[in-house]
Amino acid sequence: MRINQYASGADRDLNGERTNVSQAVIRRLPRYFRYLRELIRQGKMRISSSELSSMMHVTASQIRQDLNCFGGFGQQGYGYNVNYLYARICELLGVGAGIRAIIIGAGDLGRALVRSPMFEKRGVDIVAMFDVNPSLIGREVGGVKIRSMTELKSFCEEIPVDMAVLTLPKESVDEVAELLVENGVRGLWNFTAKELTLSPDARVIVENVHLGDSLMILNYQLCNPTDRDETK
């Protein structure tokens, strides 16, 4: 299974019709989500593609193309209805789909994530954390109970879980990933340093977050300042 890459290909639009929305467009949608959310916070009702363009530092033509992929939300000379556009993007991105998540690993990162408003803002409900450390089990963090890994199976039988956030030590990640898939978890958000390699028939979606890679890119740029594009 290839990870951190997504197929370009056919997607479905809001009416369930197959369209040719590339995964590149899908990857850009969360950014529209953030900017539209901010416009709503500012009480802005309507925005033109050129205004959005200068806010987001992409061309107006790119914006029109991206948004037209989903059925053309804008009106010529009138712009986009911010609330409508936001609602549509939320729908496409599964905000409001009632996604249930668990966090595996109640260490520093797991505890930081469970307290973050990020999940709630995106409609993801953290229903439990799991750990193997007896001194953590039974405690509550951010209103979420830390349970023993031995409870995982029975928990998932009672409350179907869509997604697991992996913040456990990398040594255990393969084994735990298998266990999660066996228990019906369909999405893995992987923060461990280990890239997940699941069997090709595993019906699971993996999104790897390699913070260390991002740090190294910044390192590289700091050490090679002459390679920066000064026109940016």
Residue 34 touches a second copy, criterion: CB under 8 A: yes
Query: Which of residues 46, 64, 122, 139 is near a second copy by CB under 8 A?
Result: 122
Distances (CA, A) of 122 to 29, 37, 114, 125: 13, 11, 13, 9
* Terminal alpha carbon distance of the chain: 36
Of 93 and 149, which has the nearer Cβ to a second copy? Answer: 93
Residue 124 touches a second copy, criterion: CB under 8 A: yes
Residue 108 touches a second copy, criterion: CB under 8 A: yes
Residue 66 touches a second copy, criterion: CB under 8 A: no
Residue 181 touches a second copy, criterion: CB under 8 A: no
Least distance to a second copy, CB of residue 150, Å: 26
Of 42-50, 71-79, 131-139, 201-209, the segment contacting a second copy by CB under 8 A is 201-209
Nearest C-alpha neighbor of 88 from the set 75, 100, 72:
72
Q: Which two tokens stand for residue 83?
A: 């609330």
Cross-strand bridge partners of residue 145: 140
Residue 29 touches a second copy, criterion: CB under 8 A: yes
Residue 223 touches a second copy, criterion: CB under 8 A: yes
Q: Which residues contact 149 (CB under 8 A, 6 or more apart)?
A: 104, 130, 131, 132, 176
Q: Count of residues binding a second copy (CB under 8 A)? A: 72
The DSSP 8-state label assigned to residue 59 in this structure reads -
